Structure 1
Amino acid sequence: MSETTDGKTAEEFERATSAELNDADIAKDRAILGRDWANRSQEFLSTATPEAIRNFATGYGDDNPLFTDPEYGRASRWGGQIAPPIMAAVLNAPLRGERQTKQERGGSYRGIHAFVSGGTWDWYRPIRPGDTLHSFGGLEAIEVKRSEFAGRSVVKVHRQVKMNQNAEVVGVYRTLVIYTERKKARERGKYAGIEDPAYTDEDLAKIDEIYAAEGPRGREPRHFEDVKAGEPLPPMVKGPLTTTDIVVFHAGGYGFVPYGLKTGRLAHQNRQRIAPFYIKNEYGIPDVAQRVHWDSAWAQAIGNPRAYDYGVLRECWAHHYLTDWAGDDAWVVSQHDEIRKFNYQGDTQFLSGEVTGKTVAEDGRCLVDIAFKATNQRGEDTMKGTATIALPSREHGAALLPAVPAELQRKAADMMARHGELLREGRR
Structure 2
Amino acid sequence: MSETTDAPTEEEFEKATSAELDEADIEKDRAIVGRDWASRSQEFLSTATPEGIRNFATGYGDDNPLFTDPEYGRGTRWGGQIAPPIMAAILNAPLRGERPSKQERGGSYRGIHAFVSGGIWDWYRPIRPGDTLYGFGGLESVELKRSEFAGRSVVKVNRQVKMNQNAEVVGVYRTLVIYTERKKARERGKYKDIEDPSYTDEDLAKIEEIYAGESPRGGAPRYFEDVRIGEALPPMAKGPLTTTDMIVFHAGGYGFVPYGLKTGRLAHQNRQRIAPFYIKNEYGVPDVAQRVHWDSAWAQAIGTPRAYDYGVLRECWAHHYLTDWAGDDAWVVSQHDEIRKFNYQGDTHFLSGEVTGKTVAEDGRCLVDIAFKGTNQRGEDTVKGTAVVVLPSREHGPALLPEVPAELQRKAVEMMSRHGELLREGRR
State yes or no: 1:14 paired with 2:30.
no
State yes or no: 1:189 paired with 2:192.
no
Tell me the residue number matched to 1:250: 250
Indicate the SS of the match to 1:191. Answer: coil
Residue type of the partner of 2:329?
Answer: D
Q: Normalising by the residue count of structure 1, what TM-score does the alignment of the two structures yield?
A: 0.96
Offset from partner CA, 1:16-73 (integer Å, 9 cap, x none): x2x1x33332222222111100000000100000000000000000000000000000
State yes or no: 1:395 paired with 2:382.
no
Tell me the residue number matched to 2:418: 418
- Once residues 30 and 9 of structure 1 are traced to their aligned partners in structure 2, the CA distance between those partners, rounded to angstroms, is 32
Indicate the SS of the match to 2:153. Answer: strand
Instruction: Check conservation: 1:45, 1:91, Cα contact below 8 A.
Output: yes
User: What is the identity percentage for the equivalent residue pairs of Structure 1 and Structure 2?
Assistant: 86
- Once residues 187 and 354 of structure 2 are traced to their aligned partners in structure 1, the CA distance between those partners, rounded to angstroms, is 34
Ranges in structure 1 where 5+ consecutive residues have no aligned partner: none
State yes or no: 1:376 paired with 2:376.
yes
- Once residues 252 and 185 of structure 1 are traced to their aligned partners in structure 2, the CA distance between those partners, rounded to angstroms, is 31
| Distance change in 2, residues 1:141/1:185 (3 Å) | closer
| Distance change in 2, residues 1:2/1:256 (3 Å) | farther
- Once residues 16 and 30 of structure 2 are traced to their aligned partners in structure 1, the CA distance between those partners, rounded to angstroms, is 29
| Displacement after TM superposition at 1:2 (Å) | 8.6
| Displacement after TM superposition at 1:274 (Å) | 1.5
| Displacement after TM superposition at 1:141 (Å) | 1.4
Tell me the residue number matched to 1:286: 286
| Distance change in 2, residues 1:410/1:124 (3 Å) | same
Indicate the SS of the match to 1:31. Answer: helix
Compute the RMSD of aligned alpha carbons.
1.6
Instruction: Check conservation: 1:60, 1:249, Cα contact below 8 A.
Output: yes
- Once residues 29 and 2 of structure 1 are traced to their aligned partners in structure 2, the CA distance between those partners, rounded to angstroms, is 38
Residue type of the partner of 2:366?
Answer: C
Comparing 266-275 with 352-361, which one deviates more in the overlay? Answer: 266-275
Offset from partner CA, 1:262-294 (integer Å, 9 cap, x none): 112211221221122112222222211111111
Tell me the residue number matched to 1:307: 307
Tell me the residue number matched to 1:272: 272
Ranges in structure 2 where 5+ consecutive residues have no aligned partner: none
| Displacement after TM superposition at 1:170 (Å) | 0.1
- Once residues 84 and 206 of structure 1 are traced to their aligned partners in structure 2, the CA distance between those partners, rounded to angstroms, is 28
Correspondences of 1:55-66 after superposition (within 5 Å): 55-66=55-66
Offset from partner CA, 1:302-340 (integer Å, 9 cap, x none): 322111000000000000000000000000000000000
Residue type of the partner of 2:184?
Answer: K
Tell me the residue number matched to 2:326: 326
Tell me the residue number matched to 1:68: 68
Tell me the residue number matched to 2:34: 34
| Displacement after TM superposition at 1:179 (Å) | 2.1
Instruction: Check conservation: 2:122, 2:335, Cα contact below 8 A.
Output: yes
Tell me the residue number matched to 1:208: 208
Indicate the SS of the match to 2:345. Answer: coil
Tell me the residue number matched to 1:144: 144
Offset from partner CA, 1:208-238 (integer Å, 9 cap, x none): 0000000100000000000011100000000
| Displacement after TM superposition at 1:178 (Å) | 1.6
Runs of 4 or more consecutive aligned structure 1 residues displaced over 4 Å after TM superposition: 1-4, 6-9, 185-188
Instruction: Check conservation: 1:323, 1:332, Cα contact below 8 A.
Output: yes
Tell me the residue number matched to 2:240: 240
Instruction: Check conservation: 1:25, 1:107, Cα contact below 8 A.
Output: yes
Indicate the SS of the match to 2:189. Answer: helix
| Distance change in 2, residues 1:187/1:121 (3 Å) | farther
| Distance change in 2, residues 1:26/1:272 (3 Å) | closer
| Displacement after TM superposition at 1:109 (Å) | 2.6
Correspondences of 1:319-358 after superposition (within 5 Å): 319-358=319-358
Aligned residues: 424
Q: Normalising by the residue count of structure 2, what TM-score does the alignment of the two structures yield?
A: 0.96
| Displacement after TM superposition at 1:181 (Å) | 4.0
| Distance change in 2, residues 1:386/1:417 (3 Å) | same
